[in-house]
């Protein structure tokens, strides 16, 4: 396998990292500031339990003031990150920020509520655009109308949770949607000119490595712009905790997940930004796996594995195969 890394991949990381992708896409760098819009989730509204692995308190620890208005949360969030960024960004065109509606399903509300909250975030003088996390079943026509209106004059990315391409696995973890629902939602967003990020989890109960790696083909074919990879982990207060304590399910090992990520990236179109390679949970709530290394070290180890293979993102993707035949 060749050792050189083609454009647009980061030559040191051997994949298309999100920071570089944003600079090419928009001409500037931006920091995401997480905000809580007070949304819920259709899974919780109808079944009262949420997804198998979900305790949202464990996955969004950075949002410290959910009781404040959106503008208040942004003010505190920006001031918290600004001091540590000034030196690193010296000489650049100022700090830019995206308001990141992260917690629960951030299109799960009446359209007038969505428009009001999104517009409040965009009214902050330092906010350049929005990132909105949601589910495939929360993107109906009226919601899409609101998102289209935002995207006409401000940057917008919608992150959509897929988690697995296997419908039996999705049913097992109680997602409440199918892989086809995800595909349809992505097509609707892309037809509206909206950038899309996808979330995928490795190691879910009943899933396989082939399913995880095969998802790279699907995402590449759907013209998404970014992907977040997570490893399945067990958080306190979830249904997954009960099954894990009973010995009914296991979690991925560190080396196993490093290798799986490298396999996935080889199959992923090199044009897609890699937004994250590992999941996060607050230390007080995380039960398993308890790895020694943080996300930065994990990303380094994925790069090291790609380097060992003489490989890089997209080496085995359809895009790379097609170009090699020209």
Indicate if the pLDDT at residue 33 is higher than 90: yes
pLDDT at 319: 60
Strands 234-235 and 286-288: antiparallel
Indicate if the pLDDT at residue 322 is higher than 80: no
pLDDT band at 4 (very low <50, low <70, confident <90, very high): confident
Task: Look up the domain containing 246 and give its range.
Answer: 18-324
Strand, coil or helix: what is 34? strand
Inside any domain, residue 1: no
Averaged pLDDT for residues 35-57? 76
Strand, coil or helix: what is 152? coil
Q: Which residue has the higher pLDDT, 287 or 48?
A: 287
Q: Which residue has the higher pLDDT, 281 or 114?
A: 114
Indicate if the pLDDT at residue 326 is higher than 50: no
Inside any domain, residue 3: no
pLDDT band at 84 (very low <50, low <70, confident <90, very high): low
Indicate if the pLDDT at residue 265 is higher than 90: yes
**Measured distance CA(74)–CA(56) in Å, rounded:** 20
What tens digit of pLDDT does each residue of 6-23 get?
A: 999 999 999 999 999 999
Residue 58 contacts residue 286 (beta carbons within 8 Å): yes
What tens digit of pLDDT does each residue of 166-223 get?
A: 999 999 998 889 999 999 999 999 999 999 999 999 999 999 999 999 999 999 999 9
Query: What CATH number is attached to the domain comprising 132?
Result: 3.20.20
Indicate if the pLDDT at residue 87 is higher than 50: no
Indicate if the pLDDT at residue 89 is higher than 60: no
Angle at 262 between CA 1 and CA 27, to 5 degrees: 95
pLDDT at 320: 59
Inside any domain, residue 150: yes
The number of angstroms, rounded, from the C-alpha of 275 to the middle of its chain's C-alpha atoms is: 6
Inside any domain, residue 68: yes
**Measured distance CA(299)–CA(279) in Å, rounded:** 11
Averaged pLDDT for residues 51-60? 67
Q: CA torsion 221→269→141→55, rounded to 10°?
A: 120
What tens digit of pLDDT does each residue of 115-170 get?
A: 999 999 999 999 999 999 999 999 999 999 999 999 999 999 999 999 999 999 99
Inside any domain, residue 261: yes
pLDDT at 49: 62
Indicate if the pLDDT at residue 273 is higher than 60: yes
Inside any domain, residue 47: yes
Inside any domain, residue 298: yes
Total domains, the chain: 1
Inside any domain, residue 6: no
- Tell me whether residue 205 is exposed, middle or buried, using C-beta atoms within 10 angstroms of its C-beta: 0 to 12, 13 to 18, 19 or more: middle
pTM of this structure: 0.91
């Amino acid at each position: 396998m060749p050792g050189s890394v083609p454009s647009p991949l980061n030559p040191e990381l051997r994949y298309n990292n999100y920071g570089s992708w944003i600079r090419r896409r928009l001409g500037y760098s931006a920091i995401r500031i997480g905000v809580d819009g007070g949304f819920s989730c259709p899974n919780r509204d109808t079944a009262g339990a949420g997804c198998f692995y979900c305790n949202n308190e464990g996955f969004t620890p950075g949002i410290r003031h959910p009781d404040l208005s959106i503008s208040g949360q942004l003010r505190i969030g920006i001031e918290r990150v600004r001091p540590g960024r000034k030196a690193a960004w010296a000489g650049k065109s100022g700090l830019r920020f995206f308001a990141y509606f992260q917690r629960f399903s951030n299109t799960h509300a009446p359209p007038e509520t969505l428009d009001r909250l999104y517009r409040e975030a965009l009214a902050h003088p330092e906010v350049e655009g929005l990132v909105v996390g949601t589910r495939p079943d929360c993107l109906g026509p009226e919601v899409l109308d609101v998102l289209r209106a935002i995207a006409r004059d401000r940057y917008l990315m919608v992150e959509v949770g897929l988690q697995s391409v296997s419908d039996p696995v999705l049913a097992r973890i109680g997602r409440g949607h199918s892989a086809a629902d995800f595909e349809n939602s992505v097509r609707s967003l892309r037809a509206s000119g909206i950038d899309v990020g996808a979330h995928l989890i490795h190691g879910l109960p009943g899933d396989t490595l082939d399913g995880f790696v095969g998802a790279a083909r699907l995402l590449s074919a759907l013209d998404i712009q970014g992907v977040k990879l997570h490893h399945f982990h067990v958080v306190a207060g979830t249904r997954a905790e009960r099954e894990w304590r009973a010995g009914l399910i296991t979690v991925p090992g560190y080396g196993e997940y490093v290798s799986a990520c490298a396999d996935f990236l080889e199959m992923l179109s090199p044009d897609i930004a890699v937004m994250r390679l590992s999941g996060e949970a607050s230390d007080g709530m995380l039960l398993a796996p308890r790895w020694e290394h943080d996300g930065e070290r994990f990303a380094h180890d994925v790069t090291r594995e790609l380097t060992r293979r003489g490989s890089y993102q997209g080496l085995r993707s359809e895009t790379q195969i097609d170009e090699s035949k020209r």
